[in-house]
Structure 1
């Protein structure tokens, strides 16, 4: 039986309950990330998977992501992100945390209500489980930096992680945008090139690493992204909880 997290108009968010659900999520990820082989890894068995379905199209899967729940910073080394970022600073974080990963939306869907439904489901999970830090890797399509320089400049000037939590370099291939970029960002260009998921994090008070990892396996550039729940503006919290119902 589906473990429904919320209904939002034509879309429903629920937790995966069986192997077929996880396989469906892996299939969507494979299409969205355009990988040559099925997108799956060992973390799939450690995580809970959230599925967003279109109830007007025979519950067609339109979005998915996975959640890796941890009791506190002492477990940060177990995270997917820790493969790419040196996260020892976050070991001092005492609250419960969850890693949000493999977020994707079906390539043939562009309805903003899908992202709203996903964030509503995330809000439900955060509230029900007492989460204090949400984190993950936010990806830019492709591995070339040129098209994203204004976006990276904006991240440098406005959204870098607090020094006490700042991830350090671990991956062999990175773009150190905070150290290299001297340009003043064009805000309009920056927001046009900012991935929708990352825009949502930033609007809620999220922060990022000072470098991007070049991930050639997934053909992306990604930045470590953190969001302390206590930092979300009250008006934004109210809006998210309205969506969550």
Structure 2
């Protein structure tokens, strides 16, 4: 079993049903609140990435990873429930969908946890020749006014290229263009963004031109994509350095 370590944290993939239940329990706390298991039909087809505190053994972050040989079956992804991804159906390289990413509210050092999770994903990307990563970044709550600056910044600077841009599929959406008439407050916008989305953007990622309201999870989903070839070389070197601290 491959494990990556950095400071007090260790990242690995699941190797038992107990690991999956632990991830589902953390997801429930983060997305729904309280005790329970957040589970759906996609879990069985995914590997689950776990980040644990090496001192306490506590699970501090997790996500699930669903692999695709190319874009031909992208309609089988979680994101395809909310977005028309037909433009990506022609993507001719391996892809992975990253879903249900969450960090325990009690965890500290979010930046270190994110770096370690991305290092684990980098190891998988390079092992499988993945060319594209995607998923839904989740803004807590469904009040779009809270994220006016964030959505305006995404519209102004981070929209998907027309070649790959997701289209509207569900009726309950928030078009980003509504907030595009003025320059956004970048600092306020970044503070309002989920940590995972900020890290996607720092690596050259892009987003859909609208958010989708998810009443089940009480979130606003934003489709997020990252072409591996767009990752800055310095960032890739850092992630590869973390990969070098692997324990098998």
TM-score calculated relative to the size of structure 2: 0.94
Provide the residue aligned with 1:5 in structure 2: 3
Bigger drift between 210-219 and 234-243 goes to: 234-243
Cα distance in 1 for partners of 2:171, 2:133 equals 25
The offset of 1:181, in angstroms, is 3.3
C-alpha separation between the residues in 2 aligned to 1:96 and 1:240?
A: 20
Aligned residue for 1:236? Answer: 235
Shift of 1:237: 0.9
- State the partner residue of 2:79: 81
Residue in 1 that maps onto 2:153: 154
CA distance in 1, matches of 2:166, 2:19: 33
* RMSD across aligned positions (CA): 1.2
Alpha-carbon displacement from aligned partner over 1:107-157 (angstroms, at most 9, x marks no partner)? 111312111111111111111111100000001111001121111111001
Note if contact 1:35-1:218 (Cα within 8 Å) is conserved in structure 2.
no
- Superimposed CA distance per residue, residues 23-59 of structure 1 (whole angstroms, 9 cap, x where no aligned partner): 01000000111257521001000000011111111x2
Q: Which residue of 2 aligns with 1:142?
A: 141
Q: Give the alignment partner of residue 95 of structure 2, picking from 94, 97, 121.
A: 97
Q: Give, in angstroms, the shift of residue 183 of structure 1.
A: 2.4
1:206, distance to aligned residue in structure 2 (A): 0.2
Contact 1:73 1:95 in 2 (8 A): yes
Of 82-91 and 184-193, more deviation after overlay is shown by 184-193
Q: Give the aligned partner of residue 69 of structure 1.
A: 67
Greater RCO, CA 8 A, separation 6+: 2
**Equivalence for 1:30:** 28
Where 2:201 maps in the other structure, the secondary structure is: helix
The alpha-carbon deviation at position 180 of structure 1 amounts to 5.1
Q: TM-score, normalised by structure 1?
A: 0.96
1:31-46 mapped onto 2 (5 Å cutoff): 31-35=29-33, 38-46=37-45
Aligned residues: 242
Deviation per residue, 1:42-90 (Å, 9 max, x gap): 1000000011111111x21111100000000101111000000000000
- CA deviation map 1:214-237 (0-9, x unaligned): 111111111100000001111111
Q: Which residue of structure 1 lines up, in the alignment, with residue 181 of structure 2?
A: 182
What displacement does 1:8 show?
Answer: 1.3
| Secondary structure in structure 1 of the residue aligned to 2:190 | helix
> Once the two structures are superposed, what CA deviation does each residue of 1:170-221 show, in whole Å capped at 9, x if it has no partner?
1221001125532211111111111110000000000000000011111111
1:4–1:12: 8 Å Cα contact kept in structure 2? no
Q: 2:187 & 2:198 partners in 1: Cα distance? A: 13
Q: Is the 8 A contact 1:206 1:225 kept in 2?
A: yes
CA distance in 1 between counterparts of 2:20 and 2:44 reads: 9
Match of 1:56 in 2: 55
Matched, 1:200 2:236: no
Larger mean CA deviation between 75-84 and 113-122 belongs to 113-122
* Mapped partners of 1:110, 1:178: distance in 2: 35
